Structure 1
Amino acid sequence: MARLRATAALLALVGLGACAPQVPRGTYARPAAPLFGGMAAPMEVQPTRVAVLLPLSGPQGALGQPMLNAATMALFDSGLRGVELLPRDTAGSAGGASEAVRGAIAEGARVVVGPLTGPETAAAAGQARAAGVPVLAFTNDADQGGNGVWVTGLTPGQQVRRLLATAQSAGIRRVGLAGPDGPFMRQLSAALRNASQSAGMAAPVIVSYPSGASRAQAAGQVASQAGPEGIGLLILGETGATGAREMAAALAGAGLPAPPRLGGPSLWAGEPAIAADPALGGALVPGPDPAARNGFEARYQSAFGARPPRLAATAYDATAAALRGVRGGDPAAPASLPLGEVLQGAEGAYRLLPGGQVQRALAVYSLTPGAEPQMVEPPLLPGAAGS
């Protein structure tokens, strides 16, 4: 009954968009009786199929249904007729993703939306590429993109480039990065080096350290490498509240010539323990277009009675882009994704690039202890006028 109520609410919410129902599998046309003679057997109406690979069970199973809800919203908002979503459970594992994509392609899926993580994407990508079926994965692992796979999650590189643009607009000539070793830090480092060079800025100060290392020692390394020139903005690659707090506190006594402005990943804004810490007050974080995100959340809550998790927006955007690729109506034709076009999604404008990456219009927020993060720069889409 709860699902029926949610579906009814969604139909009411999207209004005329709901005039584009999915065609149930196995549905037949029912022509009027012939006036003369016989009639050939009715033809089965074949829907265009879009696979949605989700963790509907397993350790991340709580994310699966909200993300599927968001994908369903994208379908209704598209107004497309004759399109069917094929939800398939990956159970949050590489093996599950491989099995799910195999079955979806066998059932005629023209494009795959999902799966969630980098390992799942790597497991599903080979079969999809062999079949010529594009994949719009939810992962933020930029290394998974390319050769028919698009990374629709908010990547470390996107976040670094947005913060670097903010630093450049403030006249900062040198940026630093410090964080624990790992894939996230490696992608942050590569993006910062490339972006600093492209912007004509000084070579960045980059310090990585084991996750269990003393933050005081790490802060000392930052000060040593920064030298008398110092750093205008220091991005912390800390994803946990404890590490972020300790690093911010350690920097205060590290001997830097002037305290740098701190920056961090977008997840800081949604982590109460980080956002409320006075040592991190004023830290800059990239984030979505607030108007788009608030509108999406309101519509989702009206339809499903709950606030969506952050990743539901990624599912919406990936599904919306996939649906743009199957607008031709021929259920057997290859999908043609809208590469290079500016699309309007659940968290603002975004663009699929030919190489498998996605650009997003990101705003910049300042953490304010005891209050919601405050937007200090509006959303900016790379390549757009004024960017």
Structure 2
Amino acid sequence: MTRANGLKSGLVGMATLLLLAACVGGPDGGGRVSNRAPAPQAEGPATDAPVPAAGGRIGTGSVKVALVVPLSGPGSAVGAAMRNAAELAIEDFQKPDLQILVKDDRGAPDGAREAAQAAVADGAELVLGPLFAANVQAAAGVVRAAGKPLIAFSTDAGVAARGTYLLSFLPQAEVDRVVDESVASGRKSFAAMIPDSSYGNAVEAQFREAVARKGARLVAIERYPVGNPAPAIGRLGGLITGPAAQADALFLPDTPDGLATVAPALTKAGFAPGRVRPIGTAVWNDPRVFALPALQGGWFAAPDAAGFNGFSQRYQARFGAVPPRVATLAYDAVSLMAALSRQFGSQRFADTTLTNPSGFSGVDGTFRFRPDGPSDRALAVYEIRSGAPTIVSPAPRTLGPSGT
């Protein structure tokens, strides 16, 4: 589908079909899926994107929306790329009736609060951003007090709330998708090894819920200090190793760096991925993970990254640099605002418009905002085969009822 064709798409219910470039973000915006499908990009703010002057405006339309990102301080390189992506979205949308007020949050809560105050004072009807959880909380207090909605880019579901929506791929959705597909393929008994980290805390509760919801058996969950999985593997013992292993799937939600220690320890303990399928989240989407023997045949959930290719090509042609994966957050957000402004008039940013249960369809799949703030996403399931990922279950085109 071309960009032009995508923008001419009809409605899903009352929700506009958009040709977007959705994103997988690591904790608080770190990139987790890269330019290829599905090649990775390391987390962090590194980018060669041109750094624009702090603040400024993009577009000349009558509808004002603020973009709050770090253009100085921590994360400034990513913020610059997101500002560039917003400009690209305006260009791709062929000059919509939209004006983006770009505000620098300096990568800090105080800066985010001040940026939000300036955005409201300047007449912004909605605020896009910030990127980091603490900054989202600071900005949301200002924006919500003014009766305006905020669409943030953090992947910390804890900062979501009514009127504070998250445009990001949340790890909870990835957990649900890989567990659902595992059960559908015949896996009935699950074990887990989860690192003692904020990410581990976020996914453990969702894993327990997903296994229970599917009527599967939870054999055991072991937590381990980051970088030291051996004791946890020892405690699991025969539950995950040997021909009589009680689990037929092992959840391993660790980063590529963490898995570089976990996988060899599993192999040493006699773990056989042919008997107990390893499963994970989009943090697996990295060549270092694909090369690990203990994870061959493993499954993980992530977006179909093909849509990012077109965005990356246009971005490189326009700005002369490869965008960080999170740049698509700003591109998506601005494209969505432009489409809603065109389709829904005075109700463009109403809660009922933003939270339509049919959601919005983008290049990387369908997404929607829940009334309480988090988002649902349509994800693909990949299998690691001979050191490379292959889609075994494509991302669905429509989303089922939330929480099912």
Counterpart CA distance in 2 for 1:340 and 1:71 is: 26
Residues 172 and 103 of structure 1: is their aligned pair in 2 closer, same or farther, counting only changes over 3 Å? same
Match of 1:161 in 2: 176
Aligned 8 A contact 1:23 1:47 in 2: no
Q: CA deviation at 1:277?
A: 3.0
Q: CA deviation at 1:225?
A: 6.1
- 2:388 is equivalent to residue 375 of structure 1: no
Match of 1:186 in 2: 201
Match of 1:115 in 2: 130
Aligned 8 A contact 1:22 1:81 in 2: no
Which letter does structure 2 place at the counterpart of 1:142? A
Aligned 8 A contact 2:178 2:281 in 1: no
SS of 1:86's equivalent in the other structure is strand
Q: CA deviation at 1:329?
A: 4.9
Alignment of 1:152-301 (within 5 A): 152-203=167-218, 205-212=220-227, 214-223=228-237, 230-241=246-257, 243-254=258-269, 259-269=275-285, 271-301=286-316
Comparing 226-235 and 279-288, the one that deviates more: 226-235
SS of 2:194's equivalent in the other structure is strand
Counterpart CA distance in 2 for 1:62 and 1:334 is: 32
Which letter does structure 1 place at the counterpart of 2:362? G
Aligned 8 A contact 2:380 2:391 in 1: yes
Aligned 8 A contact 1:364 1:375 in 2: yes
Counterpart CA distance in 1 for 2:188 and 2:377 is: 24
Q: CA deviation at 1:194?
A: 1.3
Residues 273 and 128 of structure 1: is their aligned pair in 2 closer, same or farther, counting only changes over 3 Å? same
Instruction: Give the number of equivalent residue pairs.
Output: 345
Residues 194 and 382 of structure 1: is their aligned pair in 2 closer, same or farther, counting only changes over 3 Å? farther
Counterpart CA distance in 2 for 1:68 and 1:153 is: 17
SS of 2:110's equivalent in the other structure is helix
Match of 1:350 in 2: 367
Comparing 197-206 and 185-194, the one that deviates more: 197-206
| Structure 2 length-normalised TM | 0.76
Aligned 8 A contact 1:248 1:280 in 2: yes
Aligned 8 A contact 1:48 1:329 in 2: no
Q: CA deviation at 1:78?
A: 4.1
Counterpart CA distance in 2 for 1:333 and 1:184 is: 31
SS of 2:395's equivalent in the other structure is strand
Q: CA deviation at 1:80?
A: 6.1
SS of 1:367's equivalent in the other structure is strand
Aligned 8 A contact 2:256 2:288 in 1: no
Q: CA deviation at 1:145?
A: 1.2
Which letter does structure 1 place at the counterpart of 2:312? E
Alignment of 1:123-134 (within 5 A): 123-134=138-149
Alignment of 1:304-315 (within 5 A): 304-315=319-330
Residues 87-107 of structure 1 show CA distances to partners (whole Å, capped at 9, x for unaligned) of: 111122122111111111111
Residues 209 and 127 of structure 1: is their aligned pair in 2 closer, same or farther, counting only changes over 3 Å? same
Aligned 8 A contact 1:275 1:281 in 2: yes
Residues 169 and 221 of structure 1: is their aligned pair in 2 closer, same or farther, counting only changes over 3 Å? same
Match of 1:29 in 2: none
Aligned 8 A contact 2:162 2:371 in 1: no
Aligned 8 A contact 2:366 2:399 in 1: no
Counterpart CA distance in 2 for 1:332 and 1:161 is: 31
Greater fraction helix: 1
Counterpart CA distance in 1 for 2:146 and 2:348 is: 12
Which letter does structure 2 place at the counterpart of 1:202? R
Unaligned runs of 5+ in 2: 8-56
Which letter does structure 2 place at the counterpart of 1:377? S
Unaligned runs of 5+ in 1: 1-12, 25-45
- 2:316 is equivalent to residue 322 of structure 1: no
Match of 1:337 in 2: 354
Counterpart CA distance in 2 for 1:126 and 1:163 is: 35
SS of 2:373's equivalent in the other structure is coil
| Structure 1 length-normalised TM | 0.79
Q: CA deviation at 1:49?
A: 0.9
Alignment of 1:88-103 (within 5 A): 88-103=103-118
Counterpart CA distance in 1 for 2:75 and 2:266 is: 36
Counterpart CA distance in 2 for 1:184 and 1:319 is: 28
Q: CA deviation at 1:370?
A: 5.3
Q: CA deviation at 1:221?
A: 2.4
SS of 2:127's equivalent in the other structure is strand
Match of 1:71 in 2: 86
Aligned CA RMSD, in angstroms, stands at 3.1
Counterpart CA distance in 2 for 1:222 and 1:362 is: 30
SS of 2:354's equivalent in the other structure is coil
Aligned 8 A contact 2:263 2:293 in 1: no
Residues 2-38 of structure 1 show CA distances to partners (whole Å, capped at 9, x for unaligned) of: xxxxxxxxxxx979x8xxx9764xxxxxxxxxxxxxx
Residues 50-86 of structure 1 show CA distances to partners (whole Å, capped at 9, x for unaligned) of: 1111121223111112212222333344456331001
SS of 2:155's equivalent in the other structure is coil
